[in-house]
């Protein structure tokens, strides 16, 4: 599996995947390229530190389709056949989703379908839920939707702030994303409509 990772910022999920791949924890998976839509994304330097190829493709006032077409071209150039969104802050166009059907994963810091969109940790605290967590899901054209592959729960504490809760969720995100890729690279995942079946 030739993975392309799309980032917009910090890149800690990308780093968790890169470190698992370099430790041989995800057999059959290599990271072909990391693409950022933002030139100032800290994750770019981190990817380079892992010896991974990187590219910055800014939107520069173009339409989403035009921007996505350029990213697709770059991913194809690197032989990418599976895409991971890791803190990528843009909604993908139908063109992108159709180019990699059922071959795009995203991670989100809540137990979807609760609290999609921005500031999921703050939304969880303000709603008063006692348990939140993270979700790894396949991507379709809707925001934070698409078949759910894996979720890990995190308790919400009474004195939590979005930052404190976010930090605990992030640790679980790193585990969840690596586990999700292991399952996919191991051929253990089937999608039936909105439901994902994982072979034990
Ligand atoms: C993570 O919380 C992820 O769930 C969300 O954006 C954040 C990205 O963090 N989609 P990082 O760039 O992987 O550190």
* Residue pLDDT, tens place only, 87-141: 999 999 999 999 999 999 999 999 999 999 999 999 999 999 999 999 999 999 8
For ligand 1, atom 7: residue with the closest CA = 87
Closest atom of ligand 1 to 107 CA is 4
Whether pLDDT at 200 is above 90: no
Which residue CA neighbors atom 10 of ligand 1 most closely? 87
Rounded to whole angstroms, the maximal C-alpha distance in the chain is 49
Q: Which residues line ligand 1 (CB under 6 A)?
A: 7, 9-13, 43, 86-87, 107-109, 170, 173
- Range in 58-62, 77-81, 176-180, 182-186 the model is least confident about: 58-62
Tell me what percent of the residues of the chain surpass a pLDDT of 70: 100
Does 127 qualify as catalytic in the annotation?
A: no
Which of 87, 109, 146, 149 to mutate for ligand 1's pocket (most ligand atoms within 8 Å of CB)?
Answer: 87
For residue 119, how far is its CA from the centre of ligand 1 (angstroms)? 11
Residue 185: how many CB atoms within 10 A of its CB?
A: 18
Protein residue with least CA distance to atom 6, ligand 1: 87
In the set 108, 127, 137, 174, the catalytic residue is 108
Please tell me whether the peptide bond between 113 and the residue prior to it is cis, using omega within 30 degrees of 0: yes
C-alpha to C-alpha distances, 132 to 53, 87, 156, 171, nearest whole angstrom = 34, 18, 6, 13
- Please tell me the pTM assigned to this model: 0.97
Nearest 10 degrees: Cα torsion 182, 183, 188, 191: -140
């Amino acid at each position: 599996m030739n993975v392309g990772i799309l980032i917009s910022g910090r890149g800690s999920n990308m780093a968790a995947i890169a470190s698992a791949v370099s430790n041989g924890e995800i057999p059959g998976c290599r990271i072909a390229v990391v693409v950022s839509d933002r030139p100032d994304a800290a994750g770019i330097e981190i990817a380079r530190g892992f010896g991974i190829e990187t590219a910055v493709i800014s939107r520069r006032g173009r339409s989403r389709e035009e921007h996505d077409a350029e990213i697709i071209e770059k991913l194809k150039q690197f032989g990418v056949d599976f895409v991971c969104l890791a803190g990528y802050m843009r909604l993908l166009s139908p063109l992108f989703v159709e180019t990699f059907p059922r071959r795009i994963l995203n991670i989100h810091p809540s137990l979807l379908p609760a609290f999609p969109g921005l500031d999921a940790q703050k939304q969880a605290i303000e709603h008063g839920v006692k348990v939140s967590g993270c979700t790894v899901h396949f991507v379709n054209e809707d925001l934070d939707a698409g078949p759910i592959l894996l979720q890990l729960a995190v308790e919400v504490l009474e004195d939590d702030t979005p930052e404190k809760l976010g930090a605990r969720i992030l640790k679980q995100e790193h585990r969840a994303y690596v586990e999700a890729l292991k399952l996919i690279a191991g051929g253990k995942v089937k999608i039936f409509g909105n439901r994902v079946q994982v072979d034990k």
